[in-house]
Structure 1
Amino acid sequence: MPLNHPNKTASLAAWIILSCFLGIYHTAFGQSNKAQELYQQYLQTKDLRQKLTIVSDLAWEVHLSDSSRKYYEEAIELAKLLENPELHAQNLNRLGIAYRNIELQEESLKMYEEALKVAKSSGNHKEEAFALNNIAQIHYYQESYEDAMAYYEEAKDIFLKINNLDGLGYTYTGMSVVQTKIKNYQEALALINQAIEIREKLADVRQIFISKMNRGRIYQQMGDLELAERDLSQFMEYSLENDKRGAIYVLGELGNVYFKKKNLRKAEEVAAKAIEINEEIPASEAMITAYGLLYQIANFKGDTDAAKQYLDKLDEARQTFTEEKTKLYLSGIMVRKQREEIASLNREKELMEANQRFKSYVLYALLLMAFSFFLAFSVYYRSFKREKASSKMLKTKQEEIEAQTAELDKLNQEKDKIFSILAHDLKAPMDSLWAMVNLLNEQNLTKEEFEAYLPILSQSIGNNSILLENVLVWSRSQMNGIHAEISSCNLYALVESNINFFKTSQFYKGQNLQNFIPKNLEVEADRNMLDIVFRNLLTNALKFTDNGDMISISAEDSGRFYTISIADQGTGIPEANLEKLFGNQFFSTRGTHREKGSGLGLLLSKELIQKNKGDIWVESQMGYGSTFSFTLPKS
């Protein structure tokens, strides 16, 4: 089985010419920032002469994309309008290259010939020579090698005349490819050596290695495998560092050289390297060579199993290459069809414009007649529109007033509730404290009586301390004055601190408080807000449990969150009351020792948890206790 796909040699040669003449792989890739900058300038520039320069540069930056053709066409039209033959010829040449990239050789040739005509008429010898080079390439692709050489010779004479070494280097490279194709190897070597000499003078490292790779292919076809290996290896080393797309093609060529030298290990290594690069930069053509090489090696070794596997891979690569070529062909057909449609539309447009001029005269007369009617209708319509707008505005204002009234009613209800709390729940213990102080002053209270009243008074004041804190925080929240300061927080330490606090408080009735939170568990939350939440939920659990009942605090990993649960063995909550706990209204019931509550603690806890990007809920069954759970983001 042959190593190469039938179109492989031509494709690689095309890649060589394209790389040499354009140097596009390092300009089209990795220049997105420059392209974006040019695009912004293109959008903002109003001056046509500046716009012509910018759109020409932008088209070249995105040369390998489909959008480049649009920018080239715009640049060509602007160059015509501004009578700039230099950029006119340059963009025609480049648009031709864009068509050639999608295998529209006829369209490409038209652009090159027009570029040649413009360059000659304006005396632009540089663009004239490049147009000749481009035309020569088309003839090479069409296997018209004599014509290709004739155009290259003409381009060479011009570059020599104007002393343009860069263009001359491209010309010698193209001529070398043609001479190689027609097996004039000595002539091909002489030409490529001249190209290398020019590139070394210009210190153009990339083109030096490309020319050496081209020379290596000549040596390979001449049968000089040692020199072929030398040049192809040098290009491979350079391209692995600077241009992996070039490397993937040359690896197959180098593998063929190693195979012919019976160095199977090296051949397998470079084929494997090509397959590895293909994972990053797919190139089905190169895979045809790589798997074809591996198939031949397996056959040579008599490894039929491996040969069958590589043959399957080779068939897959060929299928992929065929599909890609088909897509490219269809894309070319679509572009050609679009151009034909545009030309047809332009012809139709000219006919329509002539017809439109006639219609315009008739239309002017009709418009004059309609204008007076329009004036009358406009007066009526404006009046109607103003009346409708006024009606709509009044309705909107009414809706706003109704919404504000409802909001004020709600705020008044909340204000009344707060005043009620302040008037009753806060005032009562203060009255008790005042009365006790008076009794002490009047010496009407014995030490034993004082010590008996002291726990009751302490519990009442403790209740009011938490209640007052809840009222203040809730009030700030309602006025949008509280914001979460998120930081990493040790949950175990926070829970332990609250347990220690409640064990010495009057809320404690001898319950069994257990902290099952892992000691190193960290969450992302506002520590102060979280402290208030734990205080409220533990107060609630202590309120509805008795001596010996267990209250446990635990945490469960829930993916991106931790679920924190406070479970008690208390009285439980009736099902009818569950939905009221976290509603918009204050709701409270008495505890096991007839303790009162404001209903504010759970409502505040819900708001604070939501400000910390969590959710809160409750599960309960009468007689079996309750579990309050909430989520917090992980640290």
Structure 2
Amino acid sequence: MSKIPLQLKFLLFLFVFVAFWYENGISQSLDPRDEADVILSQYQEAKSDRKKLDLISQLVRVIHYSDSAQKYYPEAIRLARLVGDAELEAQNLNRLGVYYRNMNLQEDALKLYEEALTISRNANIPVQIGHSLNNIGQIFFYQDQFEESLKYYREAETKFLEIADKEGLAYNYNGMSLVLAAIGNFEQALITINKAINIREESGNERQLTVSKFNRAGIFMSMGDYTNAEPDIINLYDYGMINDKIRAINALEKLVELKLKTTNYSQAIAYAKEAMMLHKEKPYSESMIEIYHMMYNYYFYRGNLSESKKYLDILEKEKDILNVEKTKNYLAGLTIKKQKDEIAGLYREKVLMEINNRFKMYLLLALFLFAFAMFIALSIYYRSYFREKKNLSHLQDKQKQIEQQASELDRLNMVKDKIFSILAHDLKAPLDSLWGMVKLIDEENLSQSEFEEYLPIISQNLGNNSMLLENLLIWSRSQMKGMHVQLSRLNLNKLVDENIRFLLSSGYYKGQLMENYVAADIEVEADKNMIDIVFRNLLTNALKFTREGDQIIVDTKESDNVYTVCVSDQGTGISEEGLKKLFGKDFHSTSGTHQEKGTGLGLILTKELVQKNKGEIWAESTLGMGSTFCFTLPKL
């Protein structure tokens, strides 16, 4: 099977994700809470296991797509096994698998689907056999195992046809069409999705019909048939405006893409603005990030830098920090692929050079036999010599380029190792503690008073982790050359006040006195976000190494060209050996007065951010007498 292009694969994945999320009813048009409360009350009053099983199975069907449903599934499965109801056992296993699938726990979901399939086959329950096969096929589709996925969908189709289950067939054809589209069989994909649409038109289920039509739009988009795709996307938009604004935003995302591809730019801009208005009412970042990105590209490539920057700023605020590990692996993969291509090119050139050398040898032999041939051979030789010299120079340039790429790959691997080290040693323990706490609460082994005693510790650990993650992600982005200074005029006094107020409610605060002596009129031109992080790291360090009642002062000094900002504390201080290690390339840290953990990453990042803003940073300290961290910023 030929490899699917990355763009097509991404487009299909996006449609699959949205469609299945939508189809599984993440947003219900009717609020199920009242019905769920009634069923839960009846379940709690039920006496027999049979009655409890029927009620709890009914309850999880009503609240299936909410997080609260997850805790009821194990009990439903246990009761089904207790009373010997294989159908409800398989059904609840399948539904729990859908929950895990929606949480992106695909391997866990697959195990539950396979268990449900085994139970259904042993008890000969055709409906659950079909749904289990459908679900397994869907997981294999997510994992890009398209042939395996299609095999399970075909088997499920056969089962649903045997029992004339139209609802099951509609789900089956819906999923199967996406697999067929993914392998490039668009004609068969359209035939299949139209079968699902016909069934759902007969049943009158508007929501599921809208889902299937949106899937068909995805297939048309993959084929470049935007004319037929548009009505199905608008159908989702109309439905979403009435029932679910998130779906309307998602439809607007595809309409923006469609209009840009068909060069109807004014309509694309109008759709984007409508999506932005809906986003204020019903936030949906996944689609809005794509819309902002498309609009940024549109204005950028047309030279409208002010509009492109506006959308870029919105995009940066909207999207989460990029997954550093995926980005790094992607870059490393590109580097390795490029190296392989270049090595193959060098090998081909080497073969050509060997052929050329053999050819020269034949000419040299001919020189000894024929004088005229000698003249010709010498001419060829000199021409070949200069060509070979040029090739050699080219090869050397290629070699240097490969060495540079290898060096960059080594650097990326070092960044990866440092990130893994931080994640393994400084993030895992607090999260394990939190998981243990949640497990104790879930099992009702932790009293209210014990929970309240542990709560400040958990809060502090999570606060530490939050600061560590923020520093880690920003530092990682700087290592990937993804940070750019965005200069703006900012008031230092106001920035210091904002950070002091923020840290007074953090896990680092222990009752210290934090004073802002920065003059109210001092303004500089710098990157606000970067300098904000600098202040937060320096003040956090001061809080870590001071005790209750200690004073922490932020002050400035003015010289000819710069302002010098200093953060002073009355804390534990730093030894001479410790001072030498600050701001270095290696991570180094010590525990705070409450044994707060650190990585040293904050000061490394702080140094990089100050330098990016054309400043310098240093520290002065005496062990046991407190510390002063100072940095400079250019005057306006």
**Normalised by the size of structure 2, how large is the TM-score?**
0.49
Bigger Rg, structure 1 or 2:
1
Query: What TM-score do you get using the length of structure 1 for normalisation?
Result: 0.49
